[in-house]
Amino acid sequence: MHFSRSATSAAGLALLLGSAPLSLLAAAASAVVAVPALNGATSAAAASNATSDVVPAPAVPVLMLASDWPSGEDPAGFLVSEKLDGVRALWDGQTLRFRSGLPIAAPGWFTAALPKAALDGELWLGRGRFDELSGIVRHAEPVDADWRAVRYMVFDLPGRPVPFGQRVQQLQAVVAQAQQPWLQVVAQQQVPNAVALQALLKQTVADGGEGLVLHRASALWSPGRSTTLLKFKPVADDDARVVAHLPGKGRNAGRLGALLLELPNGQRFALGSGFSDAQRANPPPVGSLVTYRYRDRTPKGLPRFASFLRVREGE
């Protein structure tokens, strides 16, 4: 079974949203909305007391993060899109940033053409090209010819006080006004039932995609891990921050035994499998973001049978 990847129609969104309060729509009618506050931003008072030689850590953008989709659940009320294997990028109206808060060294023509509205999305080259993309966006000095192939695939207007279905409509208008072929809205669609959703996942993966994202159409934007934004993949994975290197034993004596990782909620666990000999000799640095795969989670929310997948360098 194959589904159209065309964007959801306004009529379809209206059906999902039902009788959304008009006051919410009016509150977001302005073209530019205040950008969400940044976690860890240094206050003016603290900044004035700081010594001139201290370099502050980058402010971490406030992001909405996806939880795992419970297989077999009914997708009614959700908008479904392909999960793009790109680099998460948040535009705050002035600066394009990685999820870590570090600025992305994009060409001037790229950022100059972006709208003043805050955008959340993925820098993307295409299916199966993450490593190539990662190399492009990590350059301190952007290579113009490389960036001409990069698309900014946006999926949300962070902070706007209206349901997701309405944010999609507003996002389509913002992007259409920008008139840039490399700035595109991620297509959303409705899926009638769990069987059709499973078929769509199978087809997406067969076509080279990574998986699906489901976002409840009636949900308001909210920061952090969400139960209204979910990812559906054949093999579950997630990201965590490296906080320490744990020494190896036996054949791994003198090199990495495991990474001590911290989840966004502050929980920590040791990741000890999935590494090559070269990665154990030169492990991902403390502070870096890594992706790991896992089978399921413990009652406390920690991953079971986790294994290392890759470093998300620069993020």
CA atoms within 13 A on the CB side of 185: 22
Query: Rg of the Cα trace of the chain?
Result: 20
CB atoms within 10 A of CB 308: 21
For the question of residue 83 being annotated catalytic, the response is yes
Helix axis angle, 10-17 to 164-178, nearest 10° = 150
How far is C-alpha 227 from the geometric centre of its chain's CA atoms? 15
Residue 106: name the closest of 149, 57, 139, 153 by CA. 139
Query: DSSP string covering 67-108, please?
Result: EE--TT---TTEEEEE---SEEEEE-SS-EE-TTSPBP---H
Pairing of strands 183-185, 151-156: parallel
- Find the farthest-apart pair of alpha carbons in the chain and give their distance in angstroms, rounded: 65
Please answer whether residues 93 and 118 qualify as being in contact, where contact means their C-beta atoms are separated by less than 8 angstroms.
Answer: yes
Alpha-carbon distances of 125 from 70, 80, 85, 131, 132, rounded to whole Å: 29, 21, 9, 10, 8
3-class secondary structure, 289: strand
Active site residues: 83
